Structure 1
Amino acid sequence: MTDNSSIGLYTDGDVATNDTTQPSLEALAEKRFSRRQTLFGGARATSLALMGTAMLAACDDDADGTTALVVSAGATAATSAGRMVTLTGSVTAGSSKGSAISWAQTSGPEVELIGTGNPVSFIAPAVESTQDLTFTFTAAPTNGDTAASATTTVRVSPAVLGFTAVAHSLEDLVVVPDGYSVTVMTRLGDPLTAATAAYANDGTDTDFANRIGDHGDALHFFGLSSGGDPDSSALTRGLMVQNHENITQAYLHVDGPTTVGGARPLAEVVKEIECHGVSVSEYVDGGERSWSYVQDSRFNRRITPNTEMALSGPAAGSDWMVTAYSAEGTAGRGTINNCANGITGWNSYLTCEENWAGYFRRDTSDAALRSAAQLTSLLRYGVRTGASGNYNWTTASSTDTTITRWNATISGTEAREDFRNEPFQFGWVVEIDPYDPASTPRKRTALGRCGHEGAFIRVVEGQPVAAYMGDDSRSEYLYKFVSNQTWDADDASASDRLAMGDKYLDAGTLYVARFDEDGSGTWLPLVYGQVPSRPASGSYVEYTFADQADILINARLAADAVGATPMDRPEWTAGNPATGEIYLTLTNSNNSYRPVDGTNAANPRSYWNAGNPNGHIIRLREEGDTTAASSFAWDIYLFGADTIDCDTTFEETNINISDLDLRNDFSSPDGAYFSRATAISGQVNPVFWIETDDGAMTDVTNCMLLAAMPGTVGDGGAFTVTNTDGTSTYTQDTYVGTPATAANLRRFLVGPLECEITGIDMTPDGRTLFVGIQHPGEGGDASAITSHWPTSQSDTGSSARPRSAVVAITKDDGGVIAL
């Protein structure tokens, strides 16, 4: 935004443990093994990685080679899920010369041993309760003497956050915890073909249809097999698909944007248009999570506002969709202002069109030529008369339709002669097949038209597919689409991925959420015949829907009509892979949209005469835990707060409701993501990641990424918020989650100056985390650069222009990120 695993219990008797209330491994080593060499795999003084390495005895270098072998497998040890553990055995008598030594697991949840011989390592598995893992170390002499073996036990506890919280930062760097490393990956302008020149980053670059775009937003890593086929378990090769939401215009040109005789130069406008959209680039791991991108990969692709699109679903072919480009109303060009995303169960990518309305020009003459229905629609979506359109693109040409299409003013006698309907071709969820660069993306109109932030897809065998979608504008709504078809897991490996989209995303029911005061909620169907007319209000006349296409094209008006709950800027949606609960970030709202006497249970705060400037995160659990449920329970998981400003009892009680402190305070939650279900961090109690797009705390810290281990809906209780405007006091009852602590919420990353942290995914094992850094230095220009990132990540004296980029974050000991 710019403005679903149980593990059986096993015990091996009375073995030593190392819970936090017992002596440390260091103390045990000093007491029991002071004369023996020990090895702590992955140990770091600044983390909890010391827990989890077996205590190991050393070899007896004085053995004469004639006595029987005596071996040691080391002491028992304790760790927690996701930590790296190293096992080292030793021969303490006899001779090990010419012997074969090996490790094998003999009990407990199965793990993969990394390495051969001695030592070996493994990553502690996900467990619901404490589990014992037993390992046997064997030395088998090649001269035929009797082999010797010994065992050791590692006790594994459920996962916990295992890093030290990152402090507030105003540095021009991506700051991560000690024990982690940052690699800059694809950046604005990086070439995607062998023939495309390296990026000069001085404003002279062109051909952005073959370069990484600007303002990278949501992203996803799609695995590739060694043969180039889709592989959801691939760890070392994949396709990074990323949205490009907007541009920092000042840095794209030599001296910033220019205007000549009232017109923008065509070359500048072409560059700016092509910088939007989506990119696909191949990423490879050169070994030990050493990542780079492949410039000449056959999979690399740019999808821009000029790329051919197919319209699909109930609104395709509607009179509202007819343009000079598509007289049938079934095709269009491009996608723009792509914010958050969605990943389908059949390996396709959903990109979502958010703040698209501002790109359109409408001259004042247009109003008199429109029907009342279209005037109401355009007003409700913010395509206003007198607007020149973002960046004045239409001034660059009067004949090139890639330019003139952004002028929605009626100029012909019928719709097929101009682009009056072009705004209705935007605001959709667009499906892309990342594995097929020749495929035509499809706009899925059954999911409704709005300022789509994202579209989290939940698939459960035998249930319909559900898509949860926020409309990112103040006082807008949360939507859910439920497919007519139930999910068939065999479709996950379908080769025709867009055909699967036809099956699951073109026919179904769109709903909008009503959050009730008692902590319950209802999904209200947006179905023709069930949606009444929208009453007249303010500048709006009464609106009566003509058919289902009309409802989908004008989903905001339909949601108004059925009485949905206006929310504080609905942002990303994310689903907990263990519980199925859905999380929705609500980034903020100003006082005009959330006055002190205008709160509701789901949006309960209004303070400092500023509305809800720090935002909150709401979560819901579907009735019966089914995707097609018509009702749900909800509470507010977290409230954002600037704890430095919350310095009175009133503010601590009514603003800092989640009891944040300097280790975890945040403002304006935006991106939301749960660790993958295939990763240890995505099992049992999955790690929840929160990204911010903040303007309220930027005097004390840049935007950030936090890691959390949330509970479940209902783990808190009822709460009454007191709101005041300084003169009058109002109370609002709501439902809140359990308060935050440093154990369940910590700041993991802080970004560079003036950036937004947005876009996040990981490899299937959770050992590499990919994060998007958007618009660093956005407040500057070519003559006064305010950030030099990402060059500043390695060169603090850099004078380079800033670039949006993706970073790969790895744990130095090879463990699972955050644990």
Structure 2
Amino acid sequence: MHDLIDSAMAYTDGDVDTNRTLSTSLNALVQARYSRRDTLRSGASAAALAVFGGSMLAACDDSENGSADSAPPVVEAGSSGETSSGRLVTLTGTATDDGGVAAQSFTQTGGEPVVTLSGANTGTATFIAPAVEEPTDFTFRYVASDDDLQTSEATITVTVNPPALGFAAVAKNRNDIVTVPEGYAATVLYRLGDPLTADTPDYANDGTDTDFANRAGDHNDALHYYGLTADGSGRDDSNSGRGLLVMNHENLNIQYLHPNGPTTPGGVRPEGEAIKEIEAHGLSIVEVAAGDDGWAYDQASGWNRRITPNTPMVFNGPARGSALLRTAYSANGAGGRGTINNCANGITAWGTNLTCEENWAGYFARPSSDNAARTAKEVTALGRYGVGSATGNYGWASVTASDPSNTLFRRWNATASGASAAEDFRNEPNNFGWVVEIDPFDPESTPRKRTALGRMGHEGAWPSLFVDGVRPAWYMGDDSRREYLYKFVSATPWDMTDAQATNRLAIGDKYLDDGTLYVARFDEDGSGEWLPLVFGTAPLTGANAAYPFADQADVLIHARLAADAIGATPMDRPEWTATNPATGEMYLTLTNNNAAGRPVDGTNAANPRHYNDPKAGSDQYGNPNGHILRLREAGDSSEATRFAWDIYAFGAGRDLNPTNINLSSLDATNDFSSPDGLWFGRPQNASGQVTPVLWIQTDDGAYTDVTNCMMLAAMPGTVGDGGARTVTNMNAAGETAQQRTFIGAAPGASMRRFLVGPIECEITGVDSTPDGRTLFVNIQHPGEGGEANAPTSNWPASQDGSPPSTTRPRSATVVVTKNDGGVVAL
């Protein structure tokens, strides 16, 4: 005879735990008064029917029609539960039978969309709650059968609510670790100097290491995850367990790269030091995979690749072959070497990576005496882009190479020393400031500099939504004070069949080499216009007095001068752009400005604040905490030339006065300063659907006496969800000026601090796996204020221990996961 014993079916998601089996089992309660056969014949049968939703009815019937030993398994349905999109749901079914339970399974019987059940043919199944726009019931049937193929079943209902942030805000702090919310873990994946080939030795981290062409570079910046097939043979955009990380290496903590910091004996940099510094710039492409012990990179992968300032490149687009690109390396102006100061990034729908050259101008030596050898037009252009350092940032031009024919160092001297541009490197600065397309799935491919997107201090090139039959666009900030926001619109409408093409750089030729470059004008009424930078249309002609343009190549190579001429709106350091995958609205970080860059009477509606946020007794007038602007294209089309805009959120430091400074009503859970990195969750998972998560990263100097740099998660509304406001600004002399602007609805609880980094770092670069359950974040230049023998940070060694105080810090990539396996942030 079968014994009626305790059984359960339950649901949990880590936050909501529905009723499981009573602590006193139903078996104990029933058997206290009845035998099993009596139970099936009496009032307890009705009680079982109510508890089990009818599943016992079949058991009762089978038991009465045959022997007790042939009864089907006993199952019990637990209580229904409630959760939110993106959270892990666990369904647990328990069945008992004296003869043994042969099979168990879960099947979705209601609710849209269909979820993916892991462990569906076991007694415990899990799924990620899908994104829904309104509360939606999902029902699941649990079935158990015995060796006689007799079955019993039960049903459970899970109500899924729309996506919502699901973590407690991290407190501001100045700890030397990466701090994440309770319920999350952060582990270090890929650090400065980590070897990328099987025979490259481990990193000593004492300044003696060499061969950075085969090691991770410094200052990890923007990154993107590209999925690989399970066997690692090629591209698979849906794989969340194995892929390629493509990341920029923007700059150097030079003091930690050499045993005792950099040297300049006799004013000349040693060749070995310069080679190391040059190779530590550029990009990494590195294979990563999730295993039983978490994520790790594959040191010996054939996909691994370093791209450095010495890697051969080609120019594509309207400026290819221009006389302004000719050098002693490429007399025809069609080729060049390398990429440098790579900051933000962009992507394409066909699986390539866009890396963007930002503060490249300072690397070149060009003393003021060079002006005498230049035309007035050249002097104007070089001055506008800031090519005027006497030595260059790291003095590479001073290196006397052991091989006189070696131009790897001479190229950093932009002086006009030869009879023509083909005999020197006067035009070498024009080789930089571009968007560079790279195919991560072809290690032998040559990167292409896409000149149609213009030359500037490119902070990024993030795309619009790709809509079949509509010309796609890429949004780009020029990261300097009083610079501009740009948009490139392809001449070719998007064809979705190109997304999986294998000749990826050829597809890039199709969409990125022909189109229109625009610059933004923000009007005082909350509207704006994209102004085309097209040669031959006034004032972009040879008749322009400030700078006579020769052709379209000249316009693109000197996009800043073209934007000046056409009347673009100067901004407070326009940096990263990001496109909301649900609405198509574009977001732009404006990191900060100062009194010199924007005086109290020099504000505009899109850059409206001038105030003081004093740090350690020193005034910081201007817009030291920055803001985030957003715009919506007319007709929601990437092809539009008009747009509406407002300011999504204003950074705020010490003064949380909501009248003129803390205009977004931030509080201790979400106050931030100097927004920089920006990225929306991927549309393949709940963090990028319905109300996508916006990740905001900071690169701050104004507020670092209070907290290290941070990353916040937010769920923004839409352009126009707030209203107009007039701000009263004040400068150090007490002079005031009023500025009208447009402010979005206060973020409130829909924005909160998710992560705080280690000492003196910048948080920059973020992406996730397609399923949203693994987040990759870059931590740049921890301990940047220290010295070789006295570092001010020991991270990442400090993340999980207490290393010696002389341990040198390293830029690194961290992996952030939710302990229960759900979508990060939800």
| 1:14-25 equivalence runs, <5 A | none
Cα deviation for residue 796 of structure 1 reads: 2.4
Question: Matched residues in 2 for 1:465 and 1:122: separation?
Answer: 35
Residue 669 of structure 1 aligns with which residue? 675
Question: Matched residues in 2 for 1:239 and 1:68: separation?
Answer: 50
Question: Matched residues in 2 for 1:797 and 1:602: separation?
Answer: 46
Confirm or deny that 1:506 pairs with 2:499. Answer: no
Question: Matched residues in 2 for 1:157 and 1:768: separation?
Answer: 22
Question: Matched residues in 1 for 2:424 and 2:27: separation?
Answer: 88
Identify the match of residue 90 of structure 2 among 86, 90, 93: 86
- For structure 2, the 5+ residue unaligned runs are 1-5, 37-67, 613-619
Identify the match of residue 570 of structure 1 among 555, 559, 574: 574
Confirm or deny that 1:646 pairs with 2:655. Answer: yes
Residue 392 of structure 1 aligns with which residue? 395
Question: Matched residues in 2 for 1:811 and 1:223: separation?
Answer: 20
Question: Matched residues in 2 for 1:95 and 1:467: separation?
Answer: 66
Offset from partner CA, 1:184-241 (integer Å, 9 cap, x none): 0110000000011100000000000000000010000110002421111011110010
The alpha-carbon distance between structure 1 residues 793 and 328, as it changes in their structure 2 partners (threshold 3 A), is: same
Identify the match of residue 689 of structure 1 among 666, 670, 695: 695
TM-score, normalization by structure 1: 0.91
Residue 619 of structure 1 aligns with which residue? 630
Kept after mapping to 2: 8 A contact 1:69/1:91: yes
Residue 5 of structure 1 aligns with which residue? none
Residue 274 of structure 1 aligns with which residue? 279
Kept after mapping to 1: 8 A contact 2:8/2:76: no
Q: Which range moves more in the overlay, 269-278 or 63-72?
A: 63-72
Kept after mapping to 2: 8 A contact 1:59/1:91: no
Question: Matched residues in 1 for 2:735 and 2:212: separation?
Answer: 54
Residue 63 of structure 2 aligns with which residue? none
AA aligned to 1:632 is F
AA aligned to 2:295 is W
- For structure 1, the 5+ residue unaligned runs are 1-34, 44-48
| 1:105-184 equivalence runs, <5 A | 105-109=108-112, 110-115=114-119, 116-144=121-149, 146-184=150-188
Secondary structure (helix, strand or coil) at the match of 1:280 reads: strand
Secondary structure (helix, strand or coil) at the match of 2:429 reads: helix
Confirm or deny that 1:734 pairs with 2:741. Answer: yes
Confirm or deny that 1:455 pairs with 2:458. Answer: no
Q: Which range moves more in the overlay, 116-125 or 773-782?
A: 116-125
Offset from partner CA, 1:749-771 (integer Å, 9 cap, x none): 00000000000000000000000
Kept after mapping to 1: 8 A contact 2:677/2:698: yes
Confirm or deny that 1:805 pairs with 2:776. Answer: no
Cα deviation for residue 182 of structure 1 reads: 1.0
Matched positions, count = 766
Cα deviation for residue 595 of structure 1 reads: 1.1
AA aligned to 1:345 is A
The alpha-carbon distance between structure 1 residues 55 and 561, as it changes in their structure 2 partners (threshold 3 A), is: farther
Identify the match of residue 257 of structure 1 among 244, 258, 262: 262
Question: Matched residues in 1 for 2:474 and 2:71: separation?
Answer: 69
Secondary structure (helix, strand or coil) at the match of 2:622 reads: coil
Kept after mapping to 2: 8 A contact 1:616/1:638: yes
Kept after mapping to 1: 8 A contact 2:101/2:144: no
Secondary structure (helix, strand or coil) at the match of 1:784 reads: coil
Identity of aligned residues (%): 61
The alpha-carbon distance between structure 1 residues 39 and 105, as it changes in their structure 2 partners (threshold 3 A), is: closer
Residue 8 of structure 1 aligns with which residue? none
| 1:320-331 equivalence runs, <5 A | 320-331=324-335
Confirm or deny that 1:350 pairs with 2:354. Answer: yes
Question: Matched residues in 1 for 2:367 and 2:706: separation?
Answer: 43
Cα deviation for residue 50 of structure 1 reads: 2.3
Kept after mapping to 2: 8 A contact 1:514/1:565: yes
AA aligned to 1:393 is W
The alpha-carbon distance between structure 1 residues 798 and 221, as it changes in their structure 2 partners (threshold 3 A), is: farther
Secondary structure (helix, strand or coil) at the match of 2:456 reads: coil
Cα deviation for residue 37 of structure 1 reads: 7.2
Secondary structure (helix, strand or coil) at the match of 1:509 reads: strand
Confirm or deny that 1:762 pairs with 2:778. Answer: no
Residue 492 of structure 1 aligns with which residue? 499
Kept after mapping to 2: 8 A contact 1:791/1:798: no
Q: Which range moves more in the overlay, 114-123 or 750-759?
A: 114-123
Secondary structure (helix, strand or coil) at the match of 1:611 reads: strand
Question: Matched residues in 1 for 2:602 and 2:264: separation?
Answer: 44
Cα deviation for residue 96 of structure 1 reads: 6.5
Offset from partner CA, 1:339-363 (integer Å, 9 cap, x none): 0000111100000000000000012
Identify the match of residue 402 of structure 1 among 382, 391, 408: 408
Residue 311 of structure 2 aligns with which residue? 307
Cα deviation for residue 90 of structure 1 reads: 3.0
Residue 482 of structure 1 aligns with which residue? 489
Cα deviation for residue 56 of structure 1 reads: 5.3
Offset from partner CA, 1:643-671 (integer Å, 9 cap, x none): xx215xxx331100000000000000000
Cα deviation for residue 394 of structure 1 reads: 1.1
Offset from partner CA, 1:516-571 (integer Å, 9 cap, x none): 000000000000111405999xxx97211111000000000000011000000000
AA aligned to 2:134 is S
Cα deviation for residue 65 of structure 1 reads: 5.1
Residue 555 of structure 1 aligns with which residue? 559
Cα deviation for residue 495 of structure 1 reads: 0.5
Q: CA RMSD in A?
A: 1.9
Secondary structure (helix, strand or coil) at the match of 1:390 reads: coil
Question: Matched residues in 2 for 1:344 and 1:164: separation?
Answer: 34
AA aligned to 1:619 is R
The alpha-carbon distance between structure 1 residues 56 and 529, as it changes in their structure 2 partners (threshold 3 A), is: farther
Question: Matched residues in 1 for 2:588 and 2:542: separation?
Answer: 28
Question: Matched residues in 2 for 1:705 and 1:631: separation?
Answer: 32
Question: Matched residues in 1 for 2:489 and 2:271: separation?
Answer: 43
TM-score, normalization by structure 2: 0.90
Secondary structure (helix, strand or coil) at the match of 2:103 reads: strand
Cα deviation for residue 613 of structure 1 reads: 0.2
Question: Matched residues in 2 for 1:406 and 1:623: separation?
Answer: 44
The alpha-carbon distance between structure 1 residues 59 and 767, as it changes in their structure 2 partners (threshold 3 A), is: farther
AA aligned to 1:444 is R
Q: Which range moves more in the overlay, 364-373 or 661-670?
A: 364-373
Kept after mapping to 2: 8 A contact 1:56/1:75: no
AA aligned to 1:795 is G
Confirm or deny that 1:793 pairs with 2:799. Answer: yes
Question: Matched residues in 1 for 2:27 and 2:241: separation?
Answer: 40
Secondary structure (helix, strand or coil) at the match of 2:105 reads: strand
Confirm or deny that 1:50 pairs with 2:16. Answer: yes
Kept after mapping to 1: 8 A contact 2:8/2:94: no
Cα deviation for residue 397 of structure 1 reads: 1.8
Cα deviation for residue 372 of structure 1 reads: 1.4
Residue 678 of structure 1 aligns with which residue? 684
Kept after mapping to 2: 8 A contact 1:664/1:746: yes
Question: Matched residues in 1 for 2:324 and 2:134: separation?
Answer: 57
Secondary structure (helix, strand or coil) at the match of 2:553 reads: helix
Secondary structure (helix, strand or coil) at the match of 2:491 reads: strand
Secondary structure (helix, strand or coil) at the match of 2:395 reads: helix
Question: Matched residues in 2 for 1:672 and 1:290: separation?
Answer: 26
Cα deviation for residue 473 of structure 1 reads: 0.3
Cα deviation for residue 100 of structure 1 reads: 1.9
Kept after mapping to 2: 8 A contact 1:244/1:337: yes
Kept after mapping to 2: 8 A contact 1:56/1:73: no
Kept after mapping to 2: 8 A contact 1:54/1:88: no
Kept after mapping to 1: 8 A contact 2:8/2:78: no
Residue 704 of structure 2 aligns with which residue? 698
Cα deviation for residue 60 of structure 1 reads: 4.7
Identify the match of residue 382 of structure 1 among 386, 403, 411: 386
